[in-house]
Structure 1
Amino acid sequence: MSRGVVREKIEALLHQALRQARERGELKADPMPSITLDAPKRPEWGDLASTVAMALAAPEQRAPHEIAQIIVSNMAERERWLDRVEIVRPGFLNMTVKREMWLEVLREIERLGTRYGTNQLAQGQRLLIEFVSANPTGPLHVGHGRGAAVGQALANLFEAAGAEVVREYYINDAGRQMKLLGASVLARYEQLNGRESPVPEDGYQGQYIEDVAAQVLAQVGTAFLQLPREEAERRCQSVAYDRLVNEIRADLARFGVTFQSWFSEASLQQSGAVLRVVQELKTRGLIVEQEGAIWFRSSAYGDEKDRVVQKQDGDFTYLASDIAYHRDKLLRGYDRLINVWGADHHGYIPRMQAVMEAFGYPRTHLGVVLVQMVSLLRGGKKVEMSKRAGEFITLREVIDEVGADAAKFSFLMRRSDTHLDFDLELAKQQSADNPVYYVQYAHARVASLCRVAESRGITVPDPSQADLSALADPDEFGLIRKLSLYPTIVEGAVLAMEPHRVAVYLQELAGQLHAFYFRHRILPPAAEAEVEQETTAQESETKPGATGTDAAALSSCHRDVLTPELTGARLALMRQVRQVIHNGLGLLGVSAPERM
């Protein structure tokens, strides 16, 4: 539950140096600056670099190089943790960490297990994350799938940061789109009964509308033909709503996404909440009546103009319902609200943040993550529309073809507010070109190593049992350094609300693992050949990093001599790689298979 043992020690060392310099009168350091550590651009420059001296240059009115020298001279315990500290102009502090400190990373991962990478950034907070919230007028499409993956990953990240998170789906079950749904189903129902009845020009198309109409016919026969049209549309709408909401729930469950709360927009209108919230805004002096309509004075809080909440005909706008919904969220007492919206809602953010301020909350009480559209490709070519949905590829079709894990990881590989091309053929490949396979295979490869070792009587030790002094190769410490970054990656993903950072990190870690495996021996050659046979039993394509599968080919790739001590130490290292990949995939809602 930390930022990582190495970073915490070095940050503490720098803070101690700054405090001592302040006590000696060599620096003011008031307020105490925050410490950030990054990896230098080139490994030979050291393990960690800090720009704290440059950050202090302006307030101290001194050259950053001079400040860096003062900091280093006050590092009382630097020889305990660091092999070398180098000052590079204009004021970088490049630090090389002692080997034993890096080995402590492995012990920390073993000690924390699934808690490695968790933190207290949101400890004790109650968060409401609303995502997907698709209109129940049709199946979920692939864009909704990306929103579902992002929302779930955000919820997991905030839970890893100590928050209590409620996942909520806002059912847009009121307004014109629901009336069009009823009218579209009724038209198809009448057609099934031999009547000429065109679907409304802007109504809903696709096989699913015909399926609902057939369900209505099976349930009531011709009874709806005897009803007044408005009543028949309402009844058709009710049947369609129940069916489509159930299908949405089922599709999300297959995708591995669940919600604690399903909130109905219609319930706001039925309870009078929309009218009440408009009246509340009026008592706050935030309602203007103009041109026969009622306007919310959102411009008073930074919006570019005021917004209509009730039209001239007396109907409330979508904004009025959204204000009532967010007012309800505020009254439920959450410490923070987070919405995952489609990128087309970008202009909606200022007016909803104005709502926060109108009710006495800071704008930052509402965080919004935007999700861009997804283009589906097959072998690099755009996928045509779905025959069943009529207008789009459904999430269900994507899950059926590539699986939930592949879809979810693909949706999370890029920043959510950037366009994503998702190639269905690539997502099905068992090769290094498939990102989710690449990462999951790394986990399965280590799991296989451990299984084969144990089957041959070779202990897979935890770091406290292994002779870690046997680890000396730069590639080994490259892996350890990568593992040490994981808590910082998770922390950054939480602060920026960017789950793709975890996906990118896992791809990089998997790449280092696969490269290490084919450059270095971990088990005796016969055992490693067995690992290859086990992991290729169900495969027909090239494995990540593979250059051969028999013992001779594997042996030719290795440049080092294996000893029992080195075997134990490397297995202890592999055990921690496996743990971190498992933890990271869990945050993304993706499985970590023991076998592929």
Structure 2
Amino acid sequence: MKEKIQDSLKGILSDLYDNSDFNVDQYVINIQENKEKEHGDLASNIALILAKPLKKQPKEIANEVIEQFVVDKDITKVEVAGPGFINFFLSKSSHGEVLKDILAHKDNFGKVQSNNKKILIEYVSSNPTGPLHVGHGRGAVFGSVLSRLLKEAGFEVDEEYYVNDFGRQMNILSTSLWIRYAQLFDDQIKMIKNGYQGDYLISVAKKLKEIKSDQFYKDKGIISNLLNSNRELDDETFTDLLIDTIKTELDSNFVYLRNFALDEIIDLIKKDLIDFGVDHNKWFYESSLYQEKEGAESKVDKAINNLKSNKFIYEKDDAIWFKSSDFGDDKDRVLRRSNGEYTYFASDVAYHLDKYDRGYDRVINIWGSDHHGYLPRVRAAMEASKRNIEKLEVVFIQFANLIRQGKKVTMSTRSGEFITLKELVEEVTSEAARFFYINRKADQHLDFDLDLAKEQSKDNPLYYIQYAHARICSVLRKSDVQEDKLNKCDLALLDSDKEVEIQKMLKQYPALIERAALSSEPHLICYYLKDLASIFHSYYNSEKFLVENQDLMNSRLYLLTGVKQVISNGLSVLGISAPQEM
């Protein structure tokens, strides 16, 4: 219907005003849903937009347009409101056209044709030092659903996980694994305070022992003695001493130990994500930024030299600094320390330049809310590197609290006392976890009620939505009516207030998909599905569907089929199933 009105307005405006100074094709004719029924079903602000180029009052333009507008069986009235809005009143029967559209396109209803634009979404990117925990869940679901949404909206999307496999944390992981491995031979050996405390490394250590036997432990008494010594060094200094000792004792085998630990943890992370419905198609390793291929400089050195050539680099106290304050950051940032080590920021500059150089139209980062202060320096580096900073978008995700029996669940990642993502999925199912994580706006705090997520009642929003789908499937099974007969039903019979309201809601779905995708607001799909399920359940409780009047029954079943399809499509975008029975 919107397209029909747009075409009519375009023709009228062309006939009225087209000349050498004005061409209607230069302007977008927007048609919006009216929130208040007394103002009609649809509205256009085109008269306000054209007031300046036509040098006329908006209301004058609007009145000239409606004089030429022809009402018909679908559009019963057109009127001017306010400063020059054009309101359109639709007939009840016109709303049924959406049902034909839904049943014609089915799973593709709401999808937009490819626009040949590419987007990279980087999300989760947790350090590869242990299994994912519930703190990663909200960002994981947000990135996954946003990717699905953008694909629905016609974009080509790559989903990337950035693996921080470079630097001290990997040495601590390798050292922690060696300690767990050594404990299999000597249970008196204790884990260091700065080590990774969780039991997950025990299974990795056992696997290492199966492959290497005691090869990494035999004749390594100097390490065991160091661990068991009465040390006077502070924790950080002792950790560095232990890392250096293990590196020396294992020699080239330390690289094997490090890679073994990394591969095992990455495999664990990948499996947990897949079980959670999250599937990155790209994995980018930080270490690749430091590789020098065939004599060429590394990507990190290239990034720094690029900034240097643009005169945004200086040296102070034997360190290399970036003039990020020139671009609004609160202070300049170190890229390479005085000891020659590169900072995390240096890696991030090189990584983001690599993203740009891969030719994406948009680059989206999904970051935790604790990274707010990091954005100005990254944007500064991109601007200093002559990149279009408008391409870079960052969505900040607020932390989610887990609530059990009305109380907040306390966790500590430092001590290894945390609920893993795997444990959460096992407790409430991946689908419930996905829905409850995405059910609020990203920048709002979220209390995840574990008990509610497991509840089978109308208070559980996901259950309420899926139950609507299952209810419709049950009615359709009992009717035993073939779909081709429903296609020939009389849509004019769907004229009750609830039936018209449902059809209006169904018409909103394609625009909602596009809006949610472009504004990075996947929670809007949850809101929509809850509203659609609510009005359906109300309709279900007030009407009978398997009635004696065959024409009326077919019309109502046709409406239910449309609702069922849209619920299924919406849940699919969320990565959630639409069950036929519950």
Provide the rounded CA distance (Å) in 1 between the counterparts of 2:349 and 2:413: 37
* Residue 215 of structure 1, CA deviation: 4.1
Q: Secondary structure at the match of 1:223?
A: coil
Aligned counterpart for 1:166 among listed residues 139, 155, 158? 158
* 1:69 pairs with 2:95: no
State the match for 1:84 in structure 2. Answer: 77
* Residue 64 of structure 1, CA deviation: 4.8
Q: Secondary structure at the match of 2:416?
A: coil
Provide the rounded CA distance (Å) in 2 between the counterparts of 1:350 and 1:13: 47
Q: Secondary structure at the match of 1:426?
A: helix
- Which amino acid counterpart does residue 77 of structure 1 have in structure 2? V
State the match for 1:133 in structure 2. Answer: 125
Aligned counterpart for 1:314 among listed residues 313, 328, 340? 340
State the match for 1:47 in structure 2. Answer: 41
State the match for 1:541 in structure 2. Answer: none
Provide the rounded CA distance (Å) in 1 between the counterparts of 2:554 and 2:465: 24
Q: Cα gap change, 1:147/1:353 in structure 2, threshold over 3 Å: closer, same or farther? A: same
Q: Cα gap change, 1:161/1:431 in structure 2, threshold over 3 Å: closer, same or farther? A: same
Q: Secondary structure at the match of 2:216?
A: helix
Structure 1 residues 502-513: aligned runs within 5 Å: 502-513=525-536
Aligned counterpart for 1:375 among listed residues 383, 396, 401? 401
* Residue 386 of structure 1, CA deviation: 8.1
State the match for 2:235 in structure 1. Answer: none
Which is further off, 479-488 or 192-201? 192-201
State the match for 1:244 in structure 2. Answer: 265
* Residue 182 of structure 1, CA deviation: 2.2
State the match for 2:238 in structure 1. Answer: none
Provide the rounded CA distance (Å) in 2 between the counterparts of 1:343 and 1:462: 53
* Residue 384 of structure 1, CA deviation: 3.6
* Residue 48 of structure 1, CA deviation: 2.1
* Residue 219 of structure 1, CA deviation: 4.4
Provide the rounded CA distance (Å) in 2 between the counterparts of 1:281 and 1:391: 43
Provide the rounded CA distance (Å) in 2 between the counterparts of 1:123 and 1:165: 12
Q: Cα gap change, 1:132/1:466 in structure 2, threshold over 3 Å: closer, same or farther? A: same
* Residue 86 of structure 1, CA deviation: 3.4
Provide the rounded CA distance (Å) in 2 between the counterparts of 1:195 and 1:8: 74
TM-score, normalised to structure 1, is 0.84
Aligned counterpart for 1:474 among listed residues 483, 497, 504? 497
CA contact (8 A) 1:182 1:237 kept: yes
Q: Cα gap change, 1:304/1:71 in structure 2, threshold over 3 Å: closer, same or farther? A: farther
Provide the rounded CA distance (Å) in 1 between the counterparts of 2:414 and 2:358: 40
Aligned counterpart for 2:461 among listed residues 417, 435, 460? 435
Provide the rounded CA distance (Å) in 2 between the counterparts of 1:241 and 1:139: 12
- Which amino acid counterpart does residue 332 of structure 2 have in structure 1? D
* 1:269 pairs with 2:297: no
Q: Cα gap change, 1:334/1:27 in structure 2, threshold over 3 Å: closer, same or farther? A: closer
- Which amino acid counterpart does residue 246 of structure 2 have in structure 1? R
Q: Cα gap change, 1:147/1:8 in structure 2, threshold over 3 Å: closer, same or farther? A: same
Could you report, residue by residue, the CA deviation over 1:172-213 in whole angstroms, capped at 9, with x for unpaired residues?
A: 111122222223333444444437555443332222234434
Q: Secondary structure at the match of 1:509?
A: helix
* 1:116 pairs with 2:109: yes
Percent same amino acid at aligned positions?
Answer: 42
Q: Cα gap change, 1:324/1:108 in structure 2, threshold over 3 Å: closer, same or farther? A: same
* Residue 594 of structure 1, CA deviation: 1.6
State the match for 2:240 in structure 1. Answer: none
Could you report, residue by residue, the CA deviation over 1:472-513 in whole angstroms, capped at 9, with x for unpaired residues?
A: 212111111000000110110111011111111111111111
CA contact (8 A) 2:31 2:42 kept: no
CA contact (8 A) 2:300 2:347 kept: yes
CA contact (8 A) 2:486 2:557 kept: no
* Residue 452 of structure 1, CA deviation: 1.6
* Residue 302 of structure 1, CA deviation: 4.2
State the match for 2:560 in structure 1. Answer: 574
Could you report, residue by residue, the CA deviation over 1:508-528 in whole angstroms, capped at 9, with x for unpaired residues?
A: 11111111111111114xxxx
Which is further off, 179-188 or 15-24? 15-24
Provide the rounded CA distance (Å) in 1 between the counterparts of 2:203 and 2:45: 63
Provide the rounded CA distance (Å) in 2 between the counterparts of 1:421 and 1:336: 31
Provide the rounded CA distance (Å) in 2 between the counterparts of 1:163 and 1:86: 38
Could you report, residue by residue, the CA deviation over 1:230-274 in whole angstroms, capped at 9, with x for unpaired residues?
A: 255765543332221111111111112112111111122234322
Aligned counterpart for 2:247 among listed residues 206, 219, 230? 230
* 1:153 pairs with 2:145: yes
RMSD of aligned C-alpha atoms?
2.9
CA contact (8 A) 2:79 2:88 kept: yes
- Which amino acid counterpart does residue 381 of structure 1 have in structure 2? K
- Which amino acid counterpart does residue 512 of structure 1 have in structure 2? I
- Which amino acid counterpart does residue 492 of structure 1 have in structure 2? R
Aligned counterpart for 1:107 among listed residues 100, 103, 117? 100
Which is further off, 82-91 or 22-31? 22-31
* 1:142 pairs with 2:134: yes
Q: Cα gap change, 1:580/1:20 in structure 2, threshold over 3 Å: closer, same or farther? A: same
Q: Cα gap change, 1:217/1:387 in structure 2, threshold over 3 Å: closer, same or farther? A: farther
Could you report, residue by residue, the CA deviation over 1:28-75 in whole angstroms, capped at 9, with x for unpaired residues?
A: 98963552413223x34421234444555677776654443333224x
Provide the rounded CA distance (Å) in 2 between the counterparts of 1:387 and 1:273: 32
- Which consecutive residues of structure 2, in runs of 5 or more, have no partner in the other structure? 221-244, 293-297
Aligned counterpart for 1:393 among listed residues 419, 432, 435? 419
* Residue 309 of structure 1, CA deviation: 1.0
- Which consecutive residues of structure 1, in runs of 5 or more, have no partner in the other structure? 1-5, 525-561
* 1:345 pairs with 2:371: yes
Aligned residues: 548
State the match for 1:529 in structure 2. Answer: none
Q: Cα gap change, 1:463/1:234 in structure 2, threshold over 3 Å: closer, same or farther? A: same
Could you report, residue by residue, the CA deviation over 1:456-477 in whole angstroms, capped at 9, with x for unpaired residues?
A: xx33446632222222212111
- Which amino acid counterpart does residue 46 of structure 1 have in structure 2? G
Q: Cα gap change, 1:45/1:396 in structure 2, threshold over 3 Å: closer, same or farther? A: same
